[in-house]
Amino acid sequence: MSSEKKPDCGRRNLVFATAAVGGVATVATAVPFLASMAPSERAKAAGAPVEADISKLAPGEMMRVEWRGKPVWIIHRTKEMLEALGKIAEKVSDAGSKRPMQPEYARNEARSIKPEYLVVVGICTHLGCSPTDKFKTGAESGINADWPGGFLCPCHGSLFDLAGRVYKNMPAPDNLEVPPHYYLSDTRILIGEDKKA
């Protein structure tokens, strides 16, 4: 994609941040003193962990939650989606997620604690735009006939697979970030904290 067509990612993020701050400000204005804010609201504003209920997330679907003002995606991968990960190891730049900024449980091919669920921060590691899910495979995807499904960052064209691994030779230097998280139960994930923390 040419630089003339570059969307203003910085501005987009500023709008997102402003909206988030605006939400907090509204709460703060509605009550006279900060001390009057409900503890949960204060904790949330400070970046407390958030809980995600995945009980209704069907295979092949994705849900979004917000943590520390960032979008976090949870994808329930099908067997076919998982099988595709092994077939494209040569095409991604850090197939085993060995680079050190990932939690220990993300340093595997599926980049997850449970293979069927991927939890990633939906922010491109290039300039911070939010990629678009492109789960349709093949020519229907509008990307390539051999596209196995994944994510496209429309800002400068970075492609990520269904484990958030960046393809080789893309503007984005790294895989999508896996936030600290753990399972409270089979249907609930706590995002923002490791079990050991």
Binding footprint of ligand FES on the chain (CB under 6 A): 9, 124, 126-129, 153, 155-158, 171-172
CB of 9 vs ligand FES, minimal distance in Å: 5
Q: Which residue's CB is nearer to ligand FES, number 55 or number 169?
A: 169
CB 98 within 8 A of CB 107: yes
Residue 99's identity, in one-letter code, is R
Min CB(114)–ligand FES separation in Å: 27
What's the closest the beta carbon of residue 129 comes to ligand FES, in angstroms?
Answer: 4
Q: Which of 128, 110, 104, 113 is nearest to 165 (CA)?
A: 110
Identity of the residue, 85 or 153, whose beta carbon is nearer to ligand FES in the bound complex: 153
Tokens 């495979």, residue located: 137
Q: How far is the CB of 179 from ligand FES (least distance, A)?
A: 18
Q: Which is nearer to ligand FES, 5 or 79 (CB)?
A: 5
Residue whose pair of structure tokens reads 């691994």 in the numeric block? 165
Query: Strand, coil or helix: what is 92?
Result: strand
Distance CA 162, CA 180 (A): 19
